[in-house]
């Protein structure tokens, strides 16, 4: 495996120990923190290592620096980079196995050279199996996301916020969320808003405009359009109807696929 390395002044000892050990194991190394770059420039080193991953020059990267959290946040803004801050063997291994992490970030003040070598070994030897995506989001993370959606229907629910709750990148989260629920995140949010609106509309004193605002729509007109796409009737018609539908948990009911196809945010 070709592994990229980066370190600021505080991480040099760990980085050199790691390079020596991994080279001895037959791995190819690419050190982006050599040359004329200032040893204290963790931002430049992070950008260079992230670019090496994105360009395919290295398969995985290891970054050791004093500003580890900042470096991790910065790295994850680069396309194709999935960085994780890890200081223990289990996190380093699971980061690869569960979320295809390809950049290990360690705080230079938080690991000894020996621990850094052990954590890096767990990271490098771990393997991501794409077929596991068929399982979708792990149940505990999915429940956390669904609970947040249902408790915050009156607020904007951006995919970025939901993916953070699941501890995944947005693209990876969206793909696995659909595998888990049968719906893209924005469709699931719309469905939950319509389900909640049905409950509210059944109340004797329910006013349609108030229901629309309570479930997160900006105005009654937009609510009426989306409600019609999902339910096949207007909110007013639904109020007058004696029909009661069960609340859908994770996926659409068998007869809702056509309505969902026409739903818009």
Q: What is the pLDDT of residue 134?
A: 55
Distances (CA, A) of 188 to 33, 141, 169, 193, 230: 45, 16, 18, 9, 12
Give the pLDDT mean for 23-32. Answer: 87
Q: Which pLDDT band, with edges at 50, 70 and 90, does 222 fall under?
A: very high
pLDDT at position 256 over 70 = no
User: Could you tell me which residue, 164 or 136, shows the higher pLDDT?
Assistant: 164
Q: Which pLDDT band, with edges at 50, 70 and 90, does 38 fall under?
A: low
> CA-CA distance, 153 to 199, in Å (whole number)?
13
Q: What percent of the chain has pLDDT over 90?
A: 38
Q: Which residues contact 260 (CB under 8 A, 6 or more apart)?
A: 183, 187, 191, 229, 230, 252
Q: What is the pLDDT of residue 263?
A: 39
Give the pLDDT mean for 133-152. Answer: 85
What is the chain's mean pLDDT, rounded? 84
Tokens 């639904």 belong to 238
pLDDT at position 242 over 60 = no
pTM of the model: 0.50
pLDDT at position 250 over 60 = no
Q: What is the pLDDT of residue 37?
A: 55
Q: Which pLDDT band, with edges at 50, 70 and 90, does 105 fall under?
A: very high
HSE-up of residue 120 (Cα within 13 Å, Cβ side): 31
Looking at 23-32, 132-141, 191-200, 245-254, which range is the least confident one? 245-254
Tens of pLDDT, residues 110-121: 888 899 999 999
Looking at 38-42, 71-75, 116-120, 131-135, which range is the least confident one? 131-135
């Amino acid at each position: 495996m070709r592994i990229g390395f980066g370190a600021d002044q505080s991480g040099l000892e760990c980085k050199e120990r790691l390079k020596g050990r991994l080279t001895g194991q037959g791995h190819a190394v690419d050190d982006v923190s050599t040359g004329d770059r200032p040893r204290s420039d963790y931002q430049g080193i992070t950008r260079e290592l992230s670019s090496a991953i994105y360009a395919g020059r290295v398969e995985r990267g290891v970054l050791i620096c004093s500003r580890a959290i900042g470096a991790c946040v910065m790295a994850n803004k680069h396309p194709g980079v999935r960085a994780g801050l890890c200081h223990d063997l289990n996190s380093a291994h699971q980061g690869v196995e569960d979320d295809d992490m390809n950049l290990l970030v360690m705080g230079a003040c938080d690991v000894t050279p020996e621990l850094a070598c052990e954590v890096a070994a767990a990271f490098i030897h771990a393997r991501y199996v794409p077929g596991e995506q068929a399982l979708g989001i792990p149940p505990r993370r999915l429940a956390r996301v669904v609970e947040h959606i249902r408790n915050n229907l009156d607020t904007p629910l951006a995919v970025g916020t939901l993916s953070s709750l699941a501890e995944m990148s947005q693209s990876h989260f969206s793909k696995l969320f659909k595998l888990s629920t049968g719906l893209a995140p924005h469709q699931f949010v719309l469905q939950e808003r319509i389900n909640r609106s049905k409950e509210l509309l059944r109340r004797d004193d329910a006013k349609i405009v108030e229901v629309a605002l309570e479930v997160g729509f900006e105005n009654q007109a937009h609510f009426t359009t989306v409600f019609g796409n999902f339910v096949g009737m207007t909110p007013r018609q639904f109020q007058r109807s004696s029909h009661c539908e069960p609340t859908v948990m994770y996926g659409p009911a068998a007869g809702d696929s056509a309505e969902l196809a026409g739903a818009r945010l």
